Amino acid sequence: MGNFDQLYQALTKVDGFIYPNELELRWSVLITLYPYITGLVAGAFILASLNRVFNVKALKPTYEISLLAAFAFLCVATMPLISHLGQPQRFYEIMMTPHLTSAMAIFGFVYLWYLMAVLLLEIWFDYRVDFVIWSREKKGLLKLVYKILTLGVMDTSPKSVRTDNKLGYIITVIGIPSAFLLHGYVGFIFGSVKANPWWSSVLMPIIFLFSAMVSGIALVLFLYMIITYIRKQKLDMLCLDTIGKLLFYILILDFTLESLDQIHRIYEAGESFDIISLLMSKLFFSLTIMQVLMGTFIPLAILGFFQFHKPKEKIRKAAYFIISILVLVGIFFMRWNVVIGGQLFSKSFLGFTTYKIGLIGREGLIMSIVWIIVPFIILTFLLWFLPPWKKAHIEDK
Amino acid sequence: MKTEKDKNNSRREFLIASTAITGGIVLSTFLNPFKSIAEAKSADSTKDTIKLNDKNVSLAKDAEKWWGFGFDIEKCIGCGTCAKACKEENNVPKEPFFFRTWIEQYTEKNDGTLKVQSPNGGIDGQTQAVPSEDIFKSYFVPKTCNHCSKSPCVQVCPVGATFVSPDGVVLVDEKYCIGCGYCVQACPYGCRYIHPEKEIADKCTLCYHRINKGLQPTCVEVCPTGARTHGNLRDKKSDLVKFLKEHNCHVLKPHLNTGSKLFYNGLSEEVR
Amino acid sequence: MPKQLTRLIIVFLIFISLFLVVRHFLVPESFYKFGHYRADALKDNEDHQVKYIDAAMCSACHTDIDSLKVSGPHKNINCQTCHGPGYLHVEDPSKNVLIKPTERAFCGKCHSLNAARACNIIKQQDIAQHNIDNKCVECHNPHQPQP
């Protein structure tokens, strides 16, 4: 049987004893992507909300970008999950007969709530007046689409805009805890598996939340620089520095929490300690090098340095760009270490299986690259369809 | 020719009609959860059993049956017949990484280390890899689904495709499982796998198709030494209750509080 | 109430009722009957084919072997433990011939020396030493192996 070749190969590489059914890693790279993408959504949204709720003016240039990025990634967030299912066509059952004790079933509703009640509404309130204006300017199909999107509210008076802003503000206030919930919940999906000591931790949702914020902020930083470059505009250095500072603080928090989790585990040294310390050495590349060194220490060092001394703009720009990529990659490996690392060791605590990512197939590399690229395509479309730089500024009146 | 008013009228009628239909369905959906209560009531009168597809399936709490397993480690000779027969009986893929039941050989060495092995789940028989002068103690541990009453796997199933049956057997609904693999992650005993052809979760059913016909599960049937017992925990005269009475039994990983119903006689503390 | 809000509420109500309508048709009929699962799944699980049949059926035709076996040490071993599932064989014995495992390794699965096997449960022989030139069945009748 050709399709078992890989598993037969893995069988020869088993280290120690594993339960026979544990040879195959059930959750592979696609499930790594799922918390990663959801994290980007939550993080980007929280950045947008900071701008609005706490009125951080310096972040203004990134507001719409973060909203649209959050939306683009949210559209795709469940796709890795669905495409990894054995029976993807039965996916609707999660919404039809959700099993209330299952973290995954409730996630469906948390997701819908976040998509429908928070993100879409916030974007709608933000863009409603523009929909009206664009529906008057544009022709043909586009005109119709914009018109439908106004839901028939054609009022462009300053009073109606004020109402939009007020309602949008309320939505943002609801949105922040929702974003926390969305990603904390993803952490709970792993943190609640008592069979797996690598996952089962009360800190898991919080760690996921803060790493989500870190990755979301890095994403917005990255997107802002790219988009500004493509539009041949000038980067707002104050904005970049503010994002950098925010990233620095949250990265510290995130790193503290993760260290706390590990230190607690090492000090407690429960029955799973031996296997977990072995696991950490097995994850040397993805954990020590990629997650801790590249994804945390180097960005922290550079950002920390910038807090005391600010070099020339050009250097800062380059540094921010590199940091955003480092952090994005680092957080991806954080998810990798959780999802893949958690399945490498046997629940008998007596050995390890191996994992080698395949190129093609449903759970292969190509599939996951597709799910990483699609959000960027959606974002490009959104930026064309809802260009933030062409928004009317009635609210200023 | 229709006038403008007529048009409006027919449109309004259509709107009213469709709203009424939708509303009716919505209302009946709200009532749906209560349907089971109503049905359970009527079932009460027919002595705790409901007729289900011409078969009497008993209701959960006061059912006469509550199935469980009892394995005697002292009697197991590790021949692997159970694992082999199980694969044949239940169409489990023959590859050495899909098992509903398997046998592990534990060897505690004189130097205090532990060696555990289960080549091909023990189906081809086991050979002792440790030289006999190094062996402190050695024994076989047959493994299968624990049919937990507080199953972690049932708890996490997002759609309700796996469940504890009214008679205490953890089953998978082949036509409803979405194959997400969350239950595979949640099972502390490694008893579940995703069936490579059916793409759904698969596991021991305690031979539900046999025990309901008065037969024994295949693994119990073929065991040459009677190391496996199965029976009804609610029947004071069943084999399993007798087994539990005569032996000092333990379950695997009791600290996880899974409510395991697979009881081992002679279980060593090393076994996980 | 601002017009935005009323419009949104209408959109949401439409969405929710659509969801409920869809749900009405997609939830399987026997769901929730006994709990959060399809009650018909019990029946599905019951309907599988029984392959390892009741061993008493073998004795009906193979009376000689059965009476031989009950007097020997293999008396508690099911015929299908050695011969494999018999559901097809009982329907048409000449077409569906069962396996006859005569190789030494087969007996060895149970009888080879292994520290994990309790001596009071099973008699063991070192397969590499015990009369290596012949098959086990040449000296031991598998149905009455006492030499």
Q: What is the pLDDT of residues C115-133, one digit of tens each?
A: 899 888 898 988 888 888 8
Mean pLDDT over residues B3-12, rounded? 56
Contact between B89 and C51 under an 8 Å Cβ cutoff? The reply is: yes
**Domain range enclosing C135:** 101-147
From the list B99, B157, B182, which residue is nearest A20 (CB)? B99
Q: How many CB pairs under 8 A join A and B?
A: 140
Query: From residue A298, how far is each of A221, A249, A321 by CA, in Å?
Result: 17, 14, 13
Q: State the CATH class of domain B31-265.
A: alpha beta
Q: pTM for this structure?
A: 0.88
Query: Does B48 contact C at CB distance below 8 Å?
Result: no
CB contact under 8 A, B176 and A1: no
**The pLDDT of residue B49 is above 50:** no
Pair (C42, C76) in one structural domain: yes
**Which tokens sit at A291?**
């997650």
Global ipTM? 0.88
Q: Is residue C4 part of a domain?
A: no
Closest approach of chain B CAs to the CA of A274, in angstroms? 13
Confidence grade of residue B28 (pLDDT, cut at 50, 70, 90):
low
Closest approach of chain B CAs to the CA of A392, in angstroms? 37
pLDDT of the residue at B37: 41
Domains and CATH numbers, chain A: 13-384 (1.20.1630.10)
Domain spans, chain B: 31-265
CB contact under 8 A, C76 and B226: yes
Query: Does C24 contact A at CB distance below 8 Å?
Result: no
Nearest CA in chain A to C29: A97
The conformational region for residue B251 under phi > 0 = left, psi -120 to 50 = alpha, else beta, is beta
Query: From residue B199, how far is each of A361, B163, B180, B195 by CA, in Å?
Result: 14, 18, 9, 5
Q: How many CB pairs under 8 A join A and C?
A: 37
Contact between B77 and B224 under an 8 Å Cβ cutoff? The reply is: yes
CB contact under 8 A, A347 and B190: yes
Query: From residue A198, how far is each of A132, A352, A353, B216 by CA, in Å?
Result: 52, 13, 15, 39
Pair (C96, C133) in one structural domain: no
**Which tokens sit at A369?**
């690259």
Contact between B129 and B117 under an 8 Å Cβ cutoff? The reply is: yes
Contact between B160 and C31 under an 8 Å Cβ cutoff? The reply is: yes
B181: Cα within 13 Å, side-chain hemisphere: 24
From the list A3, A18, A27, which residue is nearest B185 (CB)? A27
Query: Does B109 contact C at CB distance below 8 Å?
Result: no
From the list B39, B78, B81, which residue is nearest C117 (CB)? B78
Closest approach of chain A CAs to the CA of C90, in angstroms? 32
Which residues of chain B neighbour C113 with C-beta distances below 8 Å? 128
**The pLDDT of residue B164 is above 50:** yes
As beta bridge partners, residue B249 has B265
Reported as type and span, the H/E element at residue B15 is: helix B4-44
User: CA B138, CA B143: separation in Å to the nearest integer?
Assistant: 16
Which residues 123-142 of chain C have a CB within 8 Å of chain B? none
Pair (C121, C143) in one structural domain: yes
Q: Hey, CA dihedral for B1, B6, B8, B9, is it positive or negative?
A: negative
Task: Say if strands A351-352 and A15-16 run parallel, antiparallel, or are unpaired.
Answer: antiparallel
**The pLDDT of residue B185 is above 90:** yes
pLDDT of the residue at B12: 61
From the list A20, A26, A346, which residue is nearest B102 (CB)? A20
Q: Is residue C30 part of a domain?
A: no
CB contact under 8 A, B138 and C118: no
Which residues of chain A neighbour C31 with C-beta distances below 8 Å? 97
Pair (C64, C90) in one structural domain: yes
Give me the tens of pLDDT residue by residue for chain A, a chain 397 residues long: 347 888 888 888 899 999 999 998 889 899 999 999 999 999 999 898 888 888 888 888 899 899 999 999 999 998 998 988 989 999 999 989 999 899 888 888 888 888 878 899 999 999 999 999 999 988 889 999 999 999 988 888 888 888 998 999 999 998 888 888 888 888 999 999 999 999 999 999 999 999 999 999 999 999 999 999 999 999 999 999 999 999 999 999 999 999 999 999 889 888 888 888 889 888 999 999 999 999 999 999 999 999 998 899 999 999 999 999 999 999 999 999 999 999 999 999 999 998 888 777 777 888 899 999 999 999 999 999 999 888 876 554 3
User: CA C114, CA C91: separation in Å to the nearest integer?
Assistant: 39
Query: Does C86 contact B at CB distance below 8 Å?
Result: no
Which residues of chain A neighbour B117 with C-beta distances below 8 Å? 17
- Phi/psi for A61 (5° steps) reads -60, -20
Closest approach of chain A CAs to the CA of B42, in angstroms? 25
User: CA A245, CA A172: separation in Å to the nearest integer?
Assistant: 22
* ∠ CA B137-B70-B261, rounded to 5°: 115
CB contact under 8 A, B196 and A347: no
User: CA A127, CA A149: separation in Å to the nearest integer?
Assistant: 10
Pair (C72, C123) in one structural domain: no
CB contact under 8 A, B74 and C118: yes
Nearest CA in chain B to A80: B180
- Local structure of residue C126 (DSSP, 8 states): -
Express each pLDDT in B70-120 by its tens digit: 999 999 999 999 999 999 999 999 999 999 999 999 999 999 899 999 999
**The pLDDT of residue C22 is above 50:** yes
Pair (C95, C117) in one structural domain: no
User: CA A30, CA A365: separation in Å to the nearest integer?
Assistant: 9
Pair (C91, C45) in one structural domain: yes
Q: Is residue C19 part of a domain?
A: no
Assign residue C52 the CATH number of its domain: 1.10.287
Pair (C43, C89) in one structural domain: yes
What is the total count of domains within chain C?
2
Q: Is residue C65 part of a domain?
A: yes
